[in-house]
Amino acid sequence: MTAPRPPFDSNRAWGAATAAIRANREVVIALAGVFFLLPSLVMALLFPQPEPATGATMAALSAEAADYYRQSFPVALPMAVLQAGGTLALLTLLTDRTRPTVGQAIRAGFGALLPYLASQVILGMALAMLFMIGIGVLAAIAVPAVTVVGGIAIGFGLALLVVRFALTAPVVAIERWRNPIAALRRSWQLTAGNTGRVLFFFALVLLAFAVVMMVVTGLTGIVFGLLLPAQFVAIARAVISSVLGAGAVLVLVACLAATHAQLAGEPPERVSSTFE
């Protein structure tokens, strides 16, 4: 019999992730700027989020959102693909013991892009189907209390499923699995028995960044409103939001690498010593 794996240690994962960023900060910050900050800034400047009109009905808001996504889709899709390739390249840089150059890591990341995108399409379709089934069942029951409780249960269940498959990117980039179904299955196996701990870890990280972004964007918005002409306020806000968003993605990718290393049984130094 195989010995049971020790429980996931979020403190150890956070320490490994932050150590990896500190050890390789010049390189990873440059990659985050190219693959996360610039695409986000382009989207924010070309397609700013529409401000909901006061008193607008739900139908009007839905139509406005649909129109926004229809217009932005031709630009948003290649940007999303670029960010996915950047994520895989960053995972390679943070973990590959052969110490690849930045160019080699980028080539490796984009070389793994197709199987990773295929895995995400498969996962997205499966989650969407489960969501629609759950909503259909709740609509058929049509009991308000059951609808509320059921909606919460569906949301929590989908979050658990996302966590179970969250390590697909490290599996593709680090372990070099190229079969999308097998990569999804490997992520499922790695997170078995630790789903709740991993979910709590990433929920805390996301919550911390949400608070930071709310505070920083709120304060800078007030300052920009007082110091800058109105036409430059939106640009300044877009820059600040994109910088914070790129930083959040960078930390999340490092956390993914550290989580994968721990659950896959890799020594903790693998995540932090690529360029040391």
Q: How many residues are present in the chain? A: 276
Nearest to 261 by CA among 16, 11, 18, 97: 16
* Beta strands per DSSP E along the chain: none
Contact 171, 87 (CB under 8 A): no
Supply the pLDDT for residue 62.
76
Which DSSP helix (H) or strand (E) runs through 57?
none
Q: Model-level pTM?
A: 0.86
Contact 259, 197 (CB under 8 A): no
Question: Quick one: how far is CA 209 from the chain centroid?
Answer: 12
Per cent of the chain over pLDDT 70 is 92
Alpha-carbon span 46 to 74, nearest angstrom: 12
Which DSSP helix (H) or strand (E) runs through 115?
helix 113-141
Alpha-carbon span 170 to 240, nearest angstrom: 29
Q: Tens digit of pLDDT per residue, the chain (276 long)?
A: 445 567 899 999 999 999 999 988 888 998 999 999 999 998 888 888 777 666 667 777 777 878 888 888 888 899 999 999 999 999 998 887 777 788 888 999 999 999 999 999 999 999 999 999 998 988 888 788 888 888 999 999 999 999 999 999 999 999 999 999 999 999 999 999 999 999 999 999 999 999 998 998 888 878 887 877 877 888 888 889 899 999 999 999 999 999 999 999 864 444 444 433
Read off the pLDDT of residues 190-240 as tens digits, 9 standing for 90 and up: 999 999 999 999 999 999 999 998 998 888 878 887 877 877 888 888 889
Alpha-carbon span 30 to 35, nearest angstrom: 9
The vertex-50 CA angle with 162 and 249, nearest 5°, equals 35
Alpha-carbon span 100 to 173, nearest angstrom: 13
